[in-house]
Chains A and B, each alone.
Chain A
């Protein structure tokens, strides 16, 4: 795969398989796309106190997010300026005021600046202080919105607000699900290792059509078992077996909609937002039919007033993708993070968020949904993973090197609109148009910084 051919891999209505299987393309993605884009690092509730830190591996770059003494969150590389050792280990933890390297005890302030080196007299007369080494842990541009911390590895490039635009409203939408507008990570994420290219996973995030096909077995099993169970409960009630009949269990509420037909999926609607971001389910989603939690809705009305509470609760997309690393829902409060490891290996983190001051039932629903739909032991995810990993292997076939994104493509109408149907493959074409732009040879100093 010749790097000069990158631009030829994406056509308006199809993508060449080399985008998914070429090692060269993956290397260029790490050098270009993942440096130029704003990548999700973590939520600031992971690091509530000064000295708390969390790490994240973003396309080979070891990022370190540290809570500062003044309450800000800084992002830097977890790489000692001396020999390159990570200064902290593990996914999160706490240090007292100083980050100290375990190799030769170089120490850094919480903002990454160099505090002290051993055998300091040995550096007198050297140029250590004047070069990159003397600046300490390399700082990375970072920004946050409602506690969601992002970083851009390239020293220069598109600004945070310009990059995400109206997608920041999707972060607001999930944060506003809390009566006090605050989210908190609910423990560590489930993590799933999938042997496929990261873009196969990303394309699936706004893919409504696959739900009733790929997940047919899960839907059929849930519906059949619930039918038996409901009948047994009915008979039990008639026989006077005092047990009160509960309503439809949450598990059925969550699984059954995966079987929704194409008309519903199309009517969900989708939206393409500049820079590759997409939303599936701008009018409705598979989450729309969940039963109400009256105490929660009352708390929301008290907090936001009737009208705004109704608006917050009615906006419930299937997925909002903040390209290329973060997928949000509003209810459940599920946050997925996509971390590419290699051209054919991807880790997906599945976080549950707690909406502060909301009844515990919300978190229960989120945790159940994550287990049912995304966990490494989820029967729903099993069929997705089976398909994704199969695609990665089968794309090696030579006969037809193209992946089709033709559905609803209307070249003669001047390209895709922002508002599309839920089944329109514009939601994938849009990602690849942004991909092709981000993969172009360097401008804007993006690569020079590397």
Chain B
């Protein structure tokens, strides 16, 4: 990126990220993460490590679980499995569609190399004749890494995260 990122660059990055997922370009999507990047889908009432800096989220809850909490190694494994011919749950093929609201860029801290945004979404996943629809909001924490915006944390807060959930096969 030639100039420091503006809000429009951050929003564009987030739209592009969703498009890669909706196109099943998972390896390209993984390339958007910083080396220390994380993908997390919390369970309400679960642990809230210091991941939403400045958001006031509790940092000190020692208990709790997450629906997903993956570093790059785990994301690579998950993507390798999605490509495996005997990933039975992907037969028939599963596809997804993100519908994003305009990202609200919350923080542009060039000195601290931290950029955050809040993006309400609707997410639909279709397997064969069946479709599941989820609502929620994504919190992105980004930084510049080797000149490009990269994901430090993608945190997906589902509206009904505490409810019994059907299998969610792809990445929200």
Contacts and interface: CB of A to CB of B under 8 A. Distances in A.
Q: Decide whether A and B are members of one complex.
A: yes
B81 A370 contact: no
A255 interface: yes
B3 interface: no
B130 to A, nearest CB: 9
A227 to B, nearest CB: 11
Contacts of A383: 87-89
Contact of A379 (B45, B78, B86, B165): B78
Given A187-B47, A360-B62, A381-B167, A214 B68 contact: no
A54 to B, nearest CB: 13
Contacts of A386: 88-89, 91, 167
A188 B162 contact: yes
- B-side binding surface: helix, strand, loop or mixed? loop
B84 A229 contact: no
B88 A354 contact: no
A441 B80 CA distance: 52
B46 to A, nearest CB: 5
B64 A382 contact: no
B80 A225 contact: yes
A242 to B, nearest CB: 15
Contacts of B74: 251
A191 B41 CA distance: 14
A221 interface: yes
A350 B66 CA distance: 11
B63 interface: yes
A67 to B, nearest CB: 19
Contacts of A367: 47, 64-66, 69
B147 to A, nearest CB: 21
Contacts of B165: 191-193, 376
A64 to B, nearest CB: 19
Interface string A375-414: 1110101110111000000000000000000000000000
Given A187-B46, A229-B73, A354-B63, A214 B88 contact: yes
Contact of A255 (B44, B77, B86): B77
Interface in B132-172: 162-169
A49 interface: no
Contacts of A229: 73, 76
A310 B69 CA distance: 33
Contact of A191 (B64, B87, B163): B163
Given A186-B64, A376-B67, A193 B166 contact: yes
| Candidate in B41, B44, B76 with the most chain A CB atoms within 10 angstroms | B76
Given A187-B46, A225-B77, A379-B78, A371 B68 contact: yes
Contact of B164 (A191, A218, A352, A363): A191
B88 A217 contact: yes
A249 B73 contact: yes
Contacts of A187: 43, 45-47, 61, 63-65
Contacts of B46: 187-188
Contact of A188 (B43, B73, B77, B166): B43
A200 interface: no
A355 to B, nearest CB: 12
Given A385-B167, A386-B88, A221 B77 contact: yes
Contacts of B166: 192-195, 376
B77 A371 contact: no
Contacts of A387: 88
A374 to B, nearest CB: 10
Interface string B45-72: 1110000000000000111111111000
A300 B44 CA distance: 32
A130 to B, nearest CB: 41
B65 A189 contact: yes
A190 B64 CA distance: 10
B85 to A, nearest CB: 8
A371 B80 contact: no
B168 A377 contact: yes
Nearest to A367: B65
20 contacts: A186-B63, A187-B63, A189-B65, A192-B165, A192-B167, A214-B88, A216-B84, A218-B81, A220-B81, A221-B81, A225-B76, A255-B77, A347-B164, A354-B62, A354-B63, A360-B62, A367-B64, A371-B69, A377-B68, A386-B167
The 9 closest A-B pairs by CB, nearest first: A187-B64, A221-B80, A221-B81, A217-B84, A386-B89, A382-B89, A193-B164, A376-B165, A191-B164
Interface of A: 184-195, 214, 216-218, 220-222, 224-225, 229, 249, 251, 255, 347, 350, 352, 354, 360, 363, 367, 370-371, 375-377, 379, 381-383, 385-387
